[in-house]
Amino acid sequence: MRSHDDRQKERRELNPQEMLETIFETIASISKEKEIDRILMLMADLGRELICADRCTIWLLSDDKATLWTKVAHGISAITIPSDSGVVGHAIADNAPIIINDAYADERFNPSVDLQTGYVTRSIIALPIYGGEGEIIGVYQAINKMTDEAVFSDDDLKRLKLAAIYSGATLETAITNKEIEDTQKDVIFTMGEAGEMRSKETGNHVKRVAEYSYILALSCGLSKADAELLRMASPMHDIGKIAIPDAILKKPAKLDEAEFEIMKTHAETGYQILKNSHRRILKAAAIVAYEHHEKYNGRGYPQGLRGEDIHIFGRITALADVFDALGSDRVYKKAWELEKILALFKEEKGAHFDPALVDAFFRALDDLLDIRNRFVDGAH
């Protein structure tokens, strides 16, 4: 498929074959995406290509229908506007598409964005996007026709309607999936905090471990999607502590051998709690709970896994959890100084910790310390 820059140079309409190619390639790309931001951008690209526009934006209605928002819009930053604002607001109010080929001569046009950005809007096409129940969930908007005639036509409207029909169903699914994931995330953090609070640790411990895990995952080369999955799953790393007796969990001294054997069971218990879920976040959390006390040299627990037999999520959370535990006051110890922690990590490279992850840790140290400062115990 031709790039946007090539299309800009050509300044011509797509022929039918090119239209089909563009539509099918975009649909294939969207089917692989889960993040709303990326879906919005792909849909905006599709609309822009289909009607040879300079810019295209997908606006979504807020839950209360009071505002329209977009996280991704060609040429501008993420913005929120009143749902009755400008041309897109009129498309919603009238429940009908709008074509304007002289924007500044039309009273429905709001020039405020042009004034802020220095962009000059000449032509506009906007049409509602509908959900499965027939309700308006947003607006497809394209700006400035990039042909010599520089005007949008009824044919452009027909083409954009094709994109809007597909967009409605796809966006509704993506939004629903995001709401489900957000709910799962809330439950995971709540359960993770409950487990930590039993041992008199603060909820900020699970927040810090989640953020450390995310940064470390990116630093060692994981995809953003996998890093985000780990960030959502890692707060459950110690959920198995809910089964540990208070006398052991809250003991203000080092555990004896028998007590430590009981404490070690929390990894297996956490795995048993989570292992039967089919949700990807909870499946990842089961791995983290089970493997975050394994050591790279095989001397960890509960399975005695070695090296890369330990899942990367377990290896990352192990490092994140130890970094936070050593740097925090606990019932049985005072927080270590940073220099002492860093020295230990160097000593444990290839022993407790994956050597590549230790390198990633030091590369990301400034970001990790920033997280530690933002989520200090006692802060909200």
pLDDT digits (tens, 9 = 90+) for 203-248: 578 889 999 999 999 999 999 999 999 998 898 898 888 788 888 8
Whether 4 has a pLDDT exceeding 50, the answer reads no
Total Cβ atoms within 10 A of residue 184: 18
CA distance 187 to 181: 10
User: Of 161-170, 284-293, 323-332, where does mean pLDDT reach its minimum?
Assistant: 161-170
Q: Are residues 241 and 110 in the same domain?
A: no
Last-in-domain residue among 124, 141, 176: 176
| Amino acid at position 119, single letter | Y
Question: pLDDT digits over 113-157, tens only?
Answer: 788 778 899 999 998 888 767 788 888 899 999 988 889 998 888
Helix (H) or strand (E) holding 7: helix 4-10
Q: Are residues 227 and 102 in the same domain?
A: no
Q: Are residues 338 and 268 in the same domain?
A: yes
HSE-CB of 132 using CA atoms within 13 angstroms? 8
CA distance 97 to 88: 9
Domain residues for the domain of 209 are 199-374
Question: pLDDT digits over 243-287, tens only?
Answer: 888 888 888 888 999 999 999 999 998 898 888 877 788 889 999
Give pLDDT, residue 378: 57
pLDDT band at 371 (very low <50, low <70, confident <90, very high): very high
Task: Please give the tally of structural domains in the chain.
Answer: 2
333 carries an active-site annotation: no
Q: Are residues 172 and 203 in the same domain?
A: no
Give pLDDT, residue 379: 52
- Residue 194 within any structural domain of the chain: no
Instruction: Please calculate the CA angle 82-37-279 and round it to the nearest 5 degrees.
Output: 115
Q: Are residues 164 and 24 in the same domain?
A: yes
Q: Are residues 165 and 221 in the same domain?
A: no
- Residue 185 within any structural domain of the chain: no
Tokens (6 digits) for 330: 């606990």
Q: Are residues 87 and 146 in the same domain?
A: yes
Give me the phi and psi of 346, to 5 degrees please: -65, -40
Give pLDDT, residue 263: 94
Give pLDDT, residue 348: 97
Q: Are residues 23 and 133 in the same domain?
A: yes
User: Considering 241, 251, 264, 283, which one is annotated as catalytic?
Assistant: 241
What percent helix, strand, coil does the chain show, rounded to 5?
Answer: 55, 10, 30
Give pLDDT, residue 323: 96
